[in-house]
């Protein structure tokens, strides 16, 4: 976290705080207030939707909950206004968390569905408020409400409240952006399933982000209630709020902490100067046109474009000089341990593990154990249940029946991130890196969340070592899309290692590699084991299975048909039959 940026936010805030005492005209106070208002709304929207990729069209609902929270308490019941603001924050945040607690349980509610669901919530909330005593139809007046004196005049006081909210929102946005929490949110954005398997508590993180986002929208609403001093359902819950904040964030760049603020300033100025006077209609049309042009020509927003341009320059400089010793075998080896003696101690015990998909038993009553320090080969024909087995032991699938006992603790039924925290890591057959993070960020992210977890600074340092181990140092700042398959496979490995797992599951790491690349990979897997990591090795390349494994387990149609020493197992009749078919003659 950069202290300079944080103090910068507060310094600029202080500079703006002096304005009311310099005798600025009230017009500027209310204009700047509107600017702050939209900054709070856009930036708070971005904390959930920009960071995690869950686009919400329900920001109007949370904003409206804040407005009506404050308006009802101050205007109708007569609370002192300042006391209504925390209430507005709480009401909006509670609404968001209540919604999220239900919605995020449904794994398929993502993307467009989440957006529509939040839009629908807005209409439902508006209908309820309109038809109950909260509003009842005529709207609520806040003319008589006493506003705390924060400035020389009433408009200055509202200005000051807007300013404080904007500074707080920007600071929170930056702190989250630069924290481990923020990294987890970005991982959810890129690939939520992988993030969970790598140790990010996705459900909890989404709820936290939603709570912060909604709470800040509620605050903006509460303050806005006194600014407009007369609130109605049709104005509050109009489609303008959710669409404006989306537009502002996309325009500024929704992957950046300050992007939405840039967009908010731009759009607010545009609307203000165009829509006052005779050209209001053209102003709106202009906003529409700008939205179209922005999405067509720069879908990652202004700050996204700048970031791309800067990254383009830095990688152009870095890629030109690949290291002389490019191969992984000569790269620096981290904390190389002595080869452990073969052990009889059980690390993982799987009992009666079963996974049924609508009748099909992809894994059927498998019982096996993995001993500390060994490489266990898991083989079987395509469709025999190897990948499902890995998905079960990494927690991605919840078993239909059975136990997964890792170091004495039964993990079956827990969320995937608990598996990662317990010390289990995996690679994906088809590499699934976080596409918007650089190689270094990808590995650091896993170091932060896997196993016992590290702070962001420690994780970045550790990530550099693991990248060197995988021979990717010269590509540390490249995006995964710019890597070739071989490099992406090694990134998968580096990322799994960064979790410092005690059990590592390698899912067909060798497929698609050339023979010389396979040799390199085999050597690397041996070095991983030499460091004391136990490995489950799923592979079709039999040469590698024979060279690496201590024992193998054969699956067929989800059931275990053989286990033991590699050479013996491969000679068993049932195994031959599974691979080659039975002779019926």
Partner 1 sequence: MAFPSLNLLLQSILSGIFIGGMYGLIGLGLGLSWGLLRQINLAHFGFVFLSGYLSYHMVTVWGIDPLLTLLILAPLFFAIGVAQQWLLSRFKISPFNSLLVTFGFTVMIESLIQYVWTADFRKLQSTYGEEKFKIGGLFVPVPELLTLLLAILLAFAVWAAMRFTDIGKAMRAMAEDGPIAAAFGINQRLLSLLLSGVCVAFAAIAGVCFALTFTLTPTQIFSWVGVVFAVVMLGGLGSAIGPLVAGIIIGVSEAIAMVLFAPSWAPIVSFSLLILMLLFRPGRA
CB distance 252 to 259 below 8 Å:
yes
- Cβ neighbours of 459 (radius 10 Å): 23
Candidates 48, 184, 37; CA nearest to 115 is 48
Residue 371, SS3?
strand
Does 285 participate in binding partner 1 (rule CB under 8 A)? yes
- Cβ neighbours of 227 (radius 10 Å): 17
Q: How far is the CB of 203 from partner 1 (least distance, A)?
A: 16
CA–CA distance, 9 with 548 (Å, rounded to integer) = 55
Of the residues 78, 98, 127, 461, which one makes contact with partner 1 according to CB under 8 A:
127
Determine the interface stretch with partner 1 among 155-163, 165-173, 279-287, 427-435 (rule: CB under 8 A): 279-287
Does 269 participate in binding partner 1 (rule CB under 8 A)? no
Q: How far is the CB of 275 from partner 1 (least distance, A)?
A: 11
Task: Count residues near partner 1 (CB under 8 A).
Answer: 43
Distances (CA, A) of 293 to 262, 351, 407: 17, 58, 56
> Considering beta carbons, is residue 117 or 164 the nearer one to partner 1?
117
Q: How far is the CB of 334 from partner 1 (least distance, A)?
A: 40
> Considering beta carbons, is residue 103 or 200 the nearer one to partner 1?
103
> Considering beta carbons, is residue 127 or 574 the nearer one to partner 1?
127
For helices 154-177 and 26-52, the axis angle rounded to 10 degrees is 20
> Considering beta carbons, is residue 132 or 320 the nearer one to partner 1?
132
Q: How far is the CB of 25 from partner 1 (least distance, A)?
A: 30
Tabulate helix, strand, coil % of the chain (nearest 5). Answer: 60, 10, 30
Q: Which residue has the tokens 């266990």?
A: 376
Q: Which two tokens stand for residue 173?
A: 């946005």
Does 239 participate in binding partner 1 (rule CB under 8 A)? yes
Determine the interface stretch with partner 1 among 65-73, 239-247, 339-347, 368-376 (rule: CB under 8 A): 239-247
> Considering beta carbons, is residue 239 or 577 the nearer one to partner 1?
239
> Considering beta carbons, is residue 1 or 106 the nearer one to partner 1?
106
Does 128 participate in binding partner 1 (rule CB under 8 A)? yes
Binding mask 97-126 for partner 1 (x = CB under 8 A): -----xx--x-xx-xxx-xxx-xxx-xx-x
Q: Which residue has the tokens 């959810």?
A: 188
Does 250 participate in binding partner 1 (rule CB under 8 A)? yes
Determine the interface stretch with partner 1 among 7-15, 167-175, 289-297, 453-461 (rule: CB under 8 A): 289-297
Of the residues 247, 302, 331, 479, which one makes contact with partner 1 according to CB under 8 A:
247
CB distance 459 to 438 below 8 Å:
no
CB distance 231 to 142 below 8 Å:
yes
> Considering beta carbons, is residue 117 or 561 the nearer one to partner 1?
117
Candidates 358, 404, 370, 363; CA nearest to 386 is 363
Residue 352, SS3?
strand
Q: How far is the CB of 251 from partner 1 (least distance, A)?
A: 10
Q: Which residue has the tokens 């007046």?
A: 141
CA–CA distance, 395 with 418 (Å, rounded to integer) = 8
Q: How far is the CB of 207 from partner 1 (least distance, A)?
A: 16
> Considering beta carbons, is residue 235 or 550 the nearer one to partner 1?
235
Of the residues 149, 284, 339, 398, which one makes contact with partner 1 according to CB under 8 A:
284
CA–CA distance, 262 with 252 (Å, rounded to integer) = 5
Interacting positions 178-237 with partner 1 (CB under 8 A): none
- Cβ neighbours of 312 (radius 10 Å): 10
Q: How far is the CB of 202 from partner 1 (least distance, A)?
A: 17
CA–CA distance, 362 with 387 (Å, rounded to integer) = 9
| DSSP-assigned letters across all residues of 291-318 | HHHHHHH-TTHHHHHHHHHHHHHHHHHH
CB distance 521 to 506 below 8 Å:
no
Does 14 participate in binding partner 1 (rule CB under 8 A)? no
Does 289 participate in binding partner 1 (rule CB under 8 A)? yes
Does 291 participate in binding partner 1 (rule CB under 8 A)? yes
> Considering beta carbons, is residue 31 or 274 the nearer one to partner 1?
274
Q: 578 exposed, middle or buried (CB, 10 Å; 0-12, 13-18, 19+)?
A: buried
Q: Which two tokens stand for residue 213?
A: 């986002």
Q: Which two tokens stand for residue 350?
A: 């799987």
> Considering beta carbons, is residue 60 or 433 the nearer one to partner 1?
60
Q: How far is the CB of 113 from partner 1 (least distance, A)?
A: 6
Determine the interface stretch with partner 1 among 130-138, 333-341, 446-454, 547-555 (rule: CB under 8 A): 130-138
CA–CA distance, 535 with 425 (Å, rounded to integer) = 10
Q: How far is the CB of 193 from partner 1 (least distance, A)?
A: 16
Q: How far is the CB of 208 from partner 1 (least distance, A)?
A: 21
CA–CA distance, 144 with 76 (Å, rounded to integer) = 10
Q: Which residue has the tokens 């609307």?
A: 271
Q: How far is the CB of 573 from partner 1 (least distance, A)?
A: 40
Does 292 participate in binding partner 1 (rule CB under 8 A)? yes
> Considering beta carbons, is residue 194 or 247 the nearer one to partner 1?
247
Q: How far is the CB of 285 from partner 1 (least distance, A)?
A: 4
Q: How far is the CB of 76 from partner 1 (least distance, A)?
A: 19
Candidates 517, 501, 86; CA nearest to 509 is 517
> Considering beta carbons, is residue 296 or 580 the nearer one to partner 1?
296
Of the residues 78, 80, 299, 312, which one makes contact with partner 1 according to CB under 8 A:
299
Residue 409, SS3?
strand
Q: How far is the CB of 388 from partner 1 (least distance, A)?
A: 21
- Cβ neighbours of 325 (radius 10 Å): 11
Phi, psi of 106, deg, nearest 5: -90, 105
Please report, as ranges, the residues that interact with partner 1 according to CB under 8 A.
Answer: 55, 102-103, 106, 108-109, 111-113, 115-117, 119-121, 123-124, 126-128, 130-131, 137, 238-239, 243, 246-247, 250, 281-282, 284-285, 287-292, 295-297, 299
């Amino acid at each position: 976290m950069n202290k300079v940026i944080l103090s910068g936010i507060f310094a600029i805030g202080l500079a703006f705080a002096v304005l009311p005492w310099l005798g600025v005209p009230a017009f500027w106070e209310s204009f700047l207030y509107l600017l702050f208002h939209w900054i709070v709304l856009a930036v708070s929207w971005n904390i959930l939707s920009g960071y995690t990729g869950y686009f919400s069209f329900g920001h109007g609902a949370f904003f409206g909950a804040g407005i009506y929270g404050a308006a009802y308490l101050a205007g109708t019941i007569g609370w002192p206004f300042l006391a209504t603001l925390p209430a507005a924050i709480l009401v909006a945040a509670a609404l968001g968390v209540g919604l999220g607690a239900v919605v995020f349980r449904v794994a398929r509610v993502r993307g467009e569905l989440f957006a529509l669901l939040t839009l629908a919530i807005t209409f439902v909330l508006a209908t309820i408020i309109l038809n109950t005593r909260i509003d009842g139809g005529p709207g609520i007046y806040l003319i008589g409400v006493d506003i705390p004196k924060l400035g020389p005049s009433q408009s200055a006081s509202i200005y000051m409240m807007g300013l404080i909210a904007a500074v707080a929102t920007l600071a929170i946005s930056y702190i989250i952006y630069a924290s481990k929490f923020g990294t987890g949110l970005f991982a959810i954005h890129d690939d939520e399933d992988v993030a969970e398997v790598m140790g990010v508590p996705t459900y909890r993180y989404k709820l936290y982000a939603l709570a912060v986002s909604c709470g800040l929208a509620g605050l903006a609403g509460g303050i806005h209630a006194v600014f407009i001093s007369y609130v109605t359902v049709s104005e509050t819950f109009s489609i303008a709020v959710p669409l404006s904040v989306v537009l502002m964030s996309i325009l500024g760049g929704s992957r950046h902490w300050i992007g939405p603020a840039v967009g908010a300033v731009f759009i607010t100025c545009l609307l203000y100067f165009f829509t006052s006077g005779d050209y209001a209609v053209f102003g709106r049309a202009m906003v529409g046109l700008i939205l179209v042009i922005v999405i067509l020509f720069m879908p990652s927003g202004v700050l996204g474009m700048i970031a791309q341009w800067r990254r383009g320059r830095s990688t152009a400089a870095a890629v030109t000089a690949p290291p002389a010793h490019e191969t992984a075998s000569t790269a620096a080896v981290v904390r190389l341990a002595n080869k452990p003696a073969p052990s009889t101690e059980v690390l993982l015990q799987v009992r009666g593990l079963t996974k049924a998909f609508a009748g099909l038993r992809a894994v059927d009553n498998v019982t096996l154990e993995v001993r500390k320090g060994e490489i266990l080969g898991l083989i079987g024909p395509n469709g025999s249940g190897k990948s499902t087995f890995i998905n079960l032991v990494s927690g991605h699938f919840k078993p239909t029946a059975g136990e997964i006992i890792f170091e004495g603790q039964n993990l079956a039924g827990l969320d995937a991130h608990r598996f990662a925290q317990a010390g289990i890591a995996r690679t994906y057959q088809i590499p699934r890196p976080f596409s918007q993070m650089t190689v270094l960020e990808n590995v650091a992210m896993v170091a932060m969340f896997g196993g016992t977890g590290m702070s962001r600074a420690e994780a970045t340092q550790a990530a550099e070592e693991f990248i060197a181990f995988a021979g990717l140092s010269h590509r540390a700042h490249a995006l995964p899309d710019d890597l070739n398959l071989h490099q992406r496979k090694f990134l998968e490995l580096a990322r799994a290692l960064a979790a410092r797992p005690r059990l590592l599951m390698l899912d067909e790491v060798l497929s698609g590699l050339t023979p010389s690349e396979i040799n390199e990979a085999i050597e690397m897997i041996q070095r991983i084991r030499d460091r004391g990591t136990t490995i489950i090795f799923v592979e079709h390349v039999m040469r590698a299975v024979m060279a690496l494994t201590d024992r193998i387990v054969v699956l067929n149609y989800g059931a275990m048909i053989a286990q033991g020493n590699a050479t013996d197992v491969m000679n068993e009749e049932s195994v031959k039959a599974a691979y080659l078919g039975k002779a019926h003659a």
